[in-house]
Amino acid sequence: MKLQQLRYILEIQRQGLNVSEAAETLFTSQPGISKQVKLLEDELGVTIFERSGKRFTGVTEPGKAILASAEQILREAENLKRASGEFATGNSGRLVLAATHTQARYALPLVVRDFISERPGVKLELHQGNPTQIAEWVVNGDADIGIATEALDRYPQLITLPVRQWSHCVIAPDGHPILKQQSLSLSELVKWPLITYDTAFSGRSHINQAFERIAASPNVVLTALDADVIKTYVSLGLGLGIISALAYDTRRDAGLQALDAAHLFESNTTRLALRRGTYLRRFDYDFIERFAPHLSRHAVDLAMQGGGAEYQL
């Protein structure tokens, strides 16, 4: 049994049982793969792939078990290379972050600036996506660290760690009548056209829940993927905005006023996701601690080992 052979059968599976395509993605010849698959099957004494004549048509029962193990093995082999790579290259390497707009625009800039100036050897990449994309990138190893408020904890392959809590705020253009109200309430909000996040973004679920709880249907006239778009339309007088409090800044957002809405909507927790069982390099720990000072190397290790254990913010 060779690691190559395991790579081959996994790639065949990934390419929908097409050996030729697997050969192409692995930059090798198709007969080579074909032969190695057969050799592996002979060695193990089972057929891995069902064939009808010369076409691959499915995965046999033992094949499933074998492919599962193969995946594990290659994952750990990646870890091994990663671990040695870190020592070999010292404090250099590539760190891929995946984050939502809110995080990328409002939470990360200062942390990223400091990180890249302190660790010039590390090539930092930031990929923006929606929470589901982010989770999948981390699961597939396309990103090292995922940062989002939603969705991450729905993936059992991920370890998620709480970064910080935040609340929503309501924004209105200067002079809007609602600014004169003593205290903001949901029943007041439903009277106005509203602009907020698209579903599955930045705590939108908690906004929905709050209105459902009082059985009211808010008049949402526009949904956006990010707070900048929302602020633009609020400025134009299209309605009131409900955004993350992180996204409002008195100085920068001239012409807009913010009202605290922490009492109206359940608070949200920004979470950081790592793939279970991945080897973390020094700079992974370093970035995490810069972003969330309570997540020391020790705290992260504990969560990675503990697995299911939930860390309380």
Note the residues at the interface with a second copy (CB under 8 A): 1-3, 44-46, 61-62, 65-66, 69-70, 72-73, 76-77, 79-81, 83-89, 279, 307-308
Residue 54 found at the interface with DNA (CB under 7 A): yes
For a second copy, the closer CB: 6 or 256: 6
Residue 59 CA to residue 133 CA, distance in Å, equals: 28
Q: Is 29 in the site for DNA (CB under 7 A)?
A: yes
| Rg from Cα positions in the chain | 25
CB of 82 to a second copy, least distance (A): 9
17 three-state secondary structure? coil
Letters for 55-84 (x = contact with DNA by CB under 7 A, - = none) are: xxx---------------------------
Of 26, 268, 305, 97, the C-alpha closest to 168 is 268
Cβ-Cβ contacts under 8 Å for 124 (sequence gap 6 or more) = 94, 95, 97, 112, 115, 116
Residue 3 or 110 having the CB closest to a second copy = 3
- Closer to a second copy by CB, 43 or 249: give it: 43
In the list 6, 10, 19, 159, the residue contacting DNA (rule: CB under 7 A) is 19
CA separation for the pair 205, 269 (Å, rounded): 12
Distance of CA 224 to the CA centre of its chain: 19
Q: Which two tokens stand for residue 125?
A: 């990449």
* CA distance linking residue 196 with residue 184, whole number of Å: 17
The distance of closest approach from Cβ of residue 138 to a second copy in the complex, given in angstroms and rounded to an integer, is 20
- Report the nearest approach of a second copy to the CB of residue 313 (Å): 22
Out of DNA, a second copy, none, which partner does residue 39 contact, by CB within 5 to 8 A per kind?
A: DNA
Cα–Cα distance, 79 to 98 (Å, whole number)? 20
Q: Residue 80 or residue 302: which is nearer to a second copy going by CB?
A: 80
Q: Are strands 145-148 and 240-244 parallel, antiparallel or unpaired?
A: unpaired
By the criterion CB under 7 A, which residues form the site for DNA? 2, 4, 17-20, 27-32, 34-39, 51-57
